[in-house]
Amino acid sequence: MLFKNQLSGDSLSLHFYLLHPEKAGLDNTTPTFGTFSYDNFLSGQTYYINEINKLKSFDYGQLSAKQQITYDTLIEYFKDQLDFADLCLCSENLSPTTGLQAQLPILFAEYRFTNQKDIENYLSLLSQIKDYFAQICEFQKLKADKNSFISDFCCEGIINQCREFINIKDINEHLLCTTFKSRIEQADFLNSEEKAGYIQKNVDAVQNSVIPAYQLLIDTLSDLKKKGFCKNSNGLYYLKNGKNYYEYLTKTYTGSSRSVLELKSDIQNNLVDDMRTMYSILNISPELEEQFYKETQTNMSPEEILSSIKDKAAGDFPISSKINYKIKYVDKSLENYLSPAFYLSPPIDAPDNNTIYINNSSNSKKQNLYATLAHEGIPGHMFQAHSFSETDPLPIRHLINYGGYTEGWATYVEFMSYNYQYDNKQLAEALARSSSYSLALYSLCDIGINYEGWTLKDTKKFLANYNLNDENVCESIFQAVVEEPANYLQYYVGYMEICRLKEKMQQKLGSKFNLKKFHQAFLSLGPTSFSVAEKWLFSEYAKVCE
């Protein structure tokens, strides 16, 4: 029932989570984005209290192990969410990289058509975007009235992104028209007349709903910016309840039960250790240092890279069955705003429909594609999702997101991937330490800016201590942290927590410890908090490691 309730009010999520919604009794729901409003956020507190009470009505001892870990995960998740209602004015669903306005185009471009009902639902949702964005705009106005509006540079970035998305001379060449037409032409359940009709309906919906929706967002943000509501160009620290909201974000994003200051201390220790180890390795020989600073290029295709990683990582990870996937490329209209790559998870009932997007923008091409694909593909997100689906988890587990668990894992294996990419193990260790060092540095900036109130000047002074003096780079880090608070923490703290669990398991099992079995045990848990993960790793799942 909880699974059905969660998805019935969000048709876009429903479509991506289930290939066959009729089997879950969700095929007759009315297409909707749901409600986005301040009042709705406030009512969420009552909802979570009710769900906690429902869970407490169960006899925990009578539940199976699978049900107990679901219980533990849900009750901790619901308790954490209780704080959101009082802090929601500090929240932001618009941002240049992970904001709703940036993600929707990709989701609609990937919306599959298996029957006519899928097409009708798609067009219905497309026609509702303007009304949905109107709700978001009203929330932005409320945030402005309460002095919680976004920064000047974030506002400008979103406005420019929206302009680029809708600034097209021929509507038929718009991303949502070209991708729709391509899918319709492949729909063998339609005749030529039906195809032509749907293509025209889509063009009309893009013209009359999507473009006006993005224009409404442009106009609203531009007006608020012009009226001087972009008052805070620093972090959450300067907003009312901002520090409390950052603590909430840190807990929910990372899944760690430790305080912000405890995490800061651990990150600082890791950063110092990474720096010392890295420079110690590089001092061995000038040749090694030259290789370290050499820009990484590869002639391998993404498919060849993933195949290479799969073979080389087989000794460390339980990689056995074949994972089906497609490599796609980000549309040019979105290249400047999206991540260098990202994984799009498949429906719960069709786990082989995996997609990895690669961004070919000039900035993204500087990334190490080998490490990036280890993060997004194997043994990162794609392998993680595949492994969890093979445990046949209760459906609700797929809806509960713990960024620390998922992004922490992807970061953990990304650092390991340097050992698969380079034959020289000292070079691989130095590069992995360098990546860890950089992420630790950004994470400390995240805490400093959003929790301790660092200004741009403070941030530059901090980064100068680590020989980072480039004005543009420092400003870029500062703006990224202001726009996406606690985002770096889910990657780095998640990574740290996995390392901590591995070390504790090594101490417990001694010579019996097996890295591959540890990875198998961790993956079998699925997304959850690290307190729940630790409980189960050291009880039921410890047996897998022995």
Q: Which helix (H) or strand (E) holds 173?
A: none
Residue 402 binned pLDDT confidence (cut-offs 50, 70, 90): very high
Residue 331 binned pLDDT confidence (cut-offs 50, 70, 90): confident
Q: pLDDT tens-digit profile of 347-367?
A: 999 998 899 999 888 776 778
Question: Average pLDDT, stretch 197-205?
Answer: 97
**Angular region, 376: left φ>0, alpha ψ -120 to 50, beta rest:** alpha
- Secondary structure of 29-65 as H, E, C letters: CCCCCCCCCHHHHHHHHHHHHHHHHHHHCCCHHHCCH
451 has a pLDDT exceeding 80 = yes
Among the residue ranges 83-97, 288-302, 382-396, 503-517, the one predicted with the least confidence is: 288-302
Query: How far apart, in whole angstroms, are the C-alpha atoms of residue 416 and residue 411?
Result: 9
DSSP code for 360: -
544 has a pLDDT exceeding 80 = no
pTM more than 0.85:
yes
Sheet (strand 325-329) strand order = 325-329, 354-358, 341-344
Which tops the pLDDT comparison, 337 or 277? 277
Residue 541 binned pLDDT confidence (cut-offs 50, 70, 90): low
Instruction: Answer whether 106's CB lies under 8 Å from 338's CB.
Output: yes
Q: Assign 3-state DSSP to the chain and report helix, strand, coil percentages, each to 5.
A: 70, 5, 30
Query: How far apart, in whole angstroms, are the C-alpha atoms of residue 181 and residue 195?
Result: 8
Phi first, then psi, for residue 354 (nearest 5°) are -90, 145
- Strands 341-344 and 325-329 come out as unpaired
- Return the beta strands (E) in 49-200 as ranges: none
Residue 540 binned pLDDT confidence (cut-offs 50, 70, 90): low
What pairs with residue 294 in β-bridges?
A: none
337 has a pLDDT exceeding 70 = no
Phi first, then psi, for residue 38 (nearest 5°) are -60, -45
Q: Output the average pLDDT for the chain.
A: 93
Q: How far is CA 192 from CA 171, 202, 396, in A?
A: 21, 15, 40
Here the tokens at position 105 are 């185009």
14 has a pLDDT exceeding 70 = yes
Give the residue carrying structure tokens 């160009």.
233
Residue 335 binned pLDDT confidence (cut-offs 50, 70, 90): confident
322 has a pLDDT exceeding 90 = no
Query: How far apart, in whole angstroms, are the C-alpha atoms of residue 347 and residue 26?
Result: 14
281 has a pLDDT exceeding 80 = yes
Which tops the pLDDT comparison, 316 or 295? 316
Question: Average pLDDT, stretch 477-490?
Answer: 96
Q: Which helix (H) or strand (E) holds 325?
A: strand 325-329
Here the tokens at position 135 are 């709700």
Q: pLDDT tens-digit profile of 221-241?
A: 999 999 999 999 999 999 999
Q: pLDDT tens-digit profile of 30-66?
A: 999 999 999 999 999 999 999 999 999 999 999 999 9
